[in-house]
Amino acid sequence: MVKKNACVFISGEGTNLKNLIRRSRDYCFPITIKLVVCNNPKAKGINLAKKYSIPHIIIDTKLRNFENYILKNLRKYRISIICLAGYMKIISKNFIRNYRKKIINIHPSLLPKFKGLNTFSRVLKKKEIKTGCTVHYVNEKLDAGRIISQKSFYILPDFNEKDVKDRTQKLEYLAYPEAILKIFRISS
Ligand code: GAR
């Protein structure tokens, strides 16, 4: 199988990155991770890139040209799909135009519900019965691109924020690889 070159954008823990690295080592999985982009020098996820010898760049989003620097690297590594995995920065319209329909994101709610930040506390506050995660294409509007895959679970009455987060993230590790398989039309 000819794999597509992927880049994963992270800002923090990198547990989704870890999961994608693990899956991409399977010869049947359609992507290989060639680059990690991170906007936080203290992100734990950087250590994963180092551990698995994946080139990584740490960007300073305060610099005016930081997106050009990313674009230059995406070209260098011939990246054809970008996976946002806990990347906590808004991507510019210009950047999205350059990689239209090639940027996907994982979000910890059942979109279109609970776009944006602090999803777990908002889900509990709203007394939702169900929640979950969504993998979607990235477009110019926040958390609003076409949905590729969703997974959900029921919220039990005694669930706290940590329970909701743990359950959601467990499902993320299934949903993200599944979405990638779906994009490349490989049934899981
Ligand atoms: C994930 O739960 C992801 O859904 C969320 O950040 C977490 C990153 O965890 N993303 C967002 O909230 C995007 N709006 P990770 O760094 O351990 O993969």
Residue 156: per-residue pLDDT:
97
- Bridge partners (DSSP) listed for residue 132: 152
pLDDT tens track for 17-67: 999 999 999 999 999 999 999 999 999 999 999 999 999 999 999 999 999
What are the extents of the domains in the chain? 1-100, 107-175+182-188
Q: How far apart, in whole angstroms, are the C-alpha atoms of residue 150 and residue 144?
A: 14
The residue annotated as part of the active site, out of 18, 23, 56, 107, is: 107
How many Å lie between the centroid of ligand 1 and the Cα of residue 17? 10
- The distance between the two most distant Cα atoms of the chain, rounded to a whole number of Å, is 50
- Bridge partners (DSSP) listed for residue 5: 32
pLDDT tens track for 112-145: 999 999 999 999 999 999 999 999 999 999 999 9
| Strand-strand pairing, 31-38 and 103-107 | unpaired
How many Å lie between the centroid of ligand 1 and the Cα of residue 108? 7
Contacts of 74 (CB under 8 A, 6+ apart): 7, 35, 82, 99
At residue 100, does pLDDT exceed 90? Answer: no
- What is the third-level CATH fold of 1-100? Rossmann fold (3.40.50)
| Atom number, ligand 1, closest to the C-alpha of residue 15 | 17
CATH annotation of 107-175+182-188? 3.40.50.170
| Atom number, ligand 1, closest to the C-alpha of residue 133 | 4
Whether 92 and 67 have beta carbons less than 8 Å apart is answered as yes
| Residue 107 known to be catalytic | yes
**Radius of gyration, alpha carbons of the chain:** 16
Give just the sign of the alpha carbon dihedral 128, 133, 139, 143.
Answer: positive
How many Å lie between the centroid of ligand 1 and the Cα of residue 136? 13
Domains 1-100 and 107-175+182-188 share a fold: yes
Reference 137, options 94, 106, 171, 114; nearest CA is 106
